[in-house]
A and B are shown apart, each in its own frame.
Chain A
C-alpha cells in the first residue's frame, strides 16, 4: 500500500512539474512574442541590419556629423553578438548606453529615449533577440575622428543629455494618448530624428518634435498644429503608419525603412494611439486647401508650370491628381506644404527608388532631375508646386535653392 501511495505521489509530483514546465514555456513563448512586437516598435532592425544582410547582424553605416557609425551585431552569437549579455547587461545597454564591457555606446543608439522603457519590456526584447539566428560575423568597427572616438568622453555627454527625453505630464489625457506617448517618445524614439540637434549632437529639448535634419532631408515637425496645417487627420496619420501611404503621400527617404521594419507591423490600436498622441485627444482641424488658379500665381510659378508639365505631369498628372500605383498626387501632398522647401528639392534632385508597400501595393521609381533642371528651372518648379498645392503663396528665390544645394551632404553634391 505504501509503495502504491509512494508511486502515486511520484506520478502526481511529475505531473505537477510537467505542468509547471509547460506553463513556464508558455510564459516564455508569450514573452518572446511580446518581445518580437516590441523589437518592431523600437525598430532595432533599421540600424542593426545591413541592406540585404542577416536580420540583426549589424553592419548598417549610419552617417553622422562625427563620422560613420556602424550598427552592431545584436544576434545571440557569443563572439560577435550579444549572446553573453545577461538581462541586466541588456537593460543597461538599452537604457544607459553601456556595453557589456562597460564601454559607452555612441548615442546613435537611442538610449536617450529608451531610458524610459520599463525593465519587463527590455527583458522581453532580450528574450526575443535570443531566439534569432546567431550570426558569427563581426560588424564593421566604428572609427570616429578625435575626439569623438574617445568613448569615456561620453560620460560627460551622458550626464548632461543621456536622460534628457522626458515624458510629458499625462494628467487629463486619455489612455490612448498615454499609450501613444510610450510608443512615439520611447519605443519609436521618433523625437531622435524629428527634434533638432545642437552642437554636441544632443536633441534640443526646448524644440522637441519641431523637426530635425537628417542627411540633407528634413524630418518634419510632428507638433499637432503643424501636422494639421500639412493636412493630417487622425485617421490618415494612423493609416499612413500602417500602409506607408495616404492621401498626403508616401513614406520615403529615411521613413521608408521605418515603415517597412517597424510601423507596418504594429497593430491598429497602437497606431491609432500614436496618432492620438501626436495630434492630441482633441485634434486641430486639418487644413484644406483650395485650388489656386494659374493667374493668381507669381511669374516664377507660371514658368514652373511648364517645367511641371514637361517632366512631372507624365506621372503626377496634369492637374496633380497622381496615378494609382505609379506616382503620388500633388493635390493634398504634405511635403509641398512644408515651409522649408528642402525635401521637395532633394526629392526632385535625387528621385525615389521603387517602393514596396503593404500587400501588393507598389509605387514606380521616380527619376532624379539634378542634372536635368537648371537652378532657375528648379526654383520656378518648386514655386509652382508650393503655390498650386502647398498653400505657400510666396516665391522662392534662386539664392535659396543655391544655398540648399550648397548645404547638401556630399552624396547629394555628387549629382
Chain B
C-alpha cells in the first residue's frame, strides 16, 4: 500500500489533491475523508447498488458508478455527485429545496428504512437527466424505468412505490411524450 494524490470535483466543489492510499475503496474515501456518509455500504459486492454515485462525463452524459467495488483513484479528475449534492442549500449549508426526485420519493413514501434510497435517488436522477436530453414516448416508459432502476435492491420491497414515484415525476416534468 502506498499513498498517492487524489483530486476530483465532488458535488460541484474541487476537492484535493489529498494523499490517499492507492487501494482505498471510494466509499471509504467518501465516508472517512469527506464525511459524506449518505452513500450506503450494503452488499460490498457491487450487487445492491446502495453505494452508487453519479459521474458526469465530459460529453454531457452521466452514469452510476458503484463505490463499494471501485477504488477512489478511479475517480481522479472526474466530476462526482453523491446523494448529499442534489438538494439546494442556503449559505449556511441548510437544505432549502430537495431535487424533484427526492421530493417525490418523500411525498409518495417511496422508501421505508431508506437504506437503499440514496442509490435509487441517484439512479432516478441519472434517468431524469437522460430524458431531459432525449424524452421518450409513453409506451417506452415502463421498460426505461425497469432498465434504470431494476438493478437496485430494496429489502423493504418498496419497488412499487419507487417505480410509481419515478413514473409520476418523469411525467410531471414533461419528459414522456404521448405514444
Contacts and interface: CB of A to CB of B under 8 A. Distances in A.
A and B interact physically = yes
Contacts of A314: 25, 46, 68-71
A326 B48 CA distance: 13
A116 interface: no
A309 B73 contact: yes
A388 to B, nearest CB: 14
Interface in A307-323: 309-311, 313-315, 318, 323
Contacts of B25: 314
A254 to B, nearest CB: 25
A364 B71 contact: no
A167 to B, nearest CB: 46
B23 interface: yes
B70 A311 contact: yes
A310 B45 contact: no
B71 A311 contact: yes
A184 B69 CA distance: 39
Contacts of B70: 310-311, 314
Interface centre among A311, A314, A326 (most CB of B within 10 A): A314
A308 to B, nearest CB: 9
A94 B143 CA distance: 45
A306 B45 CA distance: 20
A83 interface: no
B74 A315 contact: no
B47 A310 contact: no
Nearest to B24: A309
Contact of B73 (A310, A326, A364, A367): A310
- Specify the main secondary structure of chain B where it touches its partner: loop
Given A314-B25, A318-B23, A309 B46 contact: no
Contacts of A311: 70-71, 74
A27 to B, nearest CB: 51
A309 B45 contact: no
Nearest to A367: B46
Contacts of A364: 45-47
Contacts of A310: 70-71, 73-74
Interface string B3-47: 010000000000000000011010000000000000000000111
B22 A306 contact: yes
Interface residues of B, number: 14
Contacts of B23: 309, 313, 318
Interface string A396-410: 000000000000000
Nearest to A323: B45
A315 B45 contact: yes
Interface in B154-175: none
A314 B22 CA distance: 12
Contacts of A323: 45
A50 B36 CA distance: 48
Of B1, B4, B69, B74, the most chain A CB neighbours within 10 A belong to B69
Contacts of B68: 314
Interface in B37-75: 45-47, 68-71, 73-74
A306 B73 contact: yes
Interface in A357-376: 364, 367
A167 B25 CA distance: 54
A372 to B, nearest CB: 9
Contact of B46 (A305, A306, A313, A315): A315
B156 to A, nearest CB: 22
B163 to A, nearest CB: 23
Contacts of B47: 364
Contacts of B69: 314-315
A306 B2 CA distance: 11
Contacts of B46: 314-315, 364, 367
B110 to A, nearest CB: 26
Count chain B CB atoms within 10 A of each CB in A305, A306, A310, A311 and give the residue with the most.
A310
A300 B74 CA distance: 17
- Residue among A309, A315, A323, A364 facing the most chain B CB atoms (10 A cut-off): A309
A218 to B, nearest CB: 27
B2 to A, nearest CB: 9
A306 B4 CA distance: 10
Interface of B: 1, 4, 22-23, 25, 45-47, 68-71, 73-74
Interface of A: 305-306, 309-311, 313-315, 318, 323, 326, 364, 367
24 contacts: A305-B22, A306-B4, A306-B22, A306-B73, A309-B22, A309-B23, A309-B71, A310-B70, A310-B71, A310-B73, A310-B74, A311-B70, A311-B71, A313-B71, A314-B25, A314-B46, A314-B68, A314-B71, A315-B45, A315-B46, A318-B1, A318-B23, A364-B46, A364-B47
Given A314-B71, A315-B69, A326-B45, 16 more contacts: A306-B4, A306-B22, A309-B23, A309-B71, A309-B73, A310-B73, A311-B71, A311-B74, A313-B71, A314-B25, A314-B68, A314-B70, A315-B45, A315-B46, A323-B45, A364-B45
**Nearest 8 CB-CB pairings of A with B:** A314-B69, A310-B74, A310-B71, A309-B23, A318-B23, A309-B71, A326-B45, A310-B73
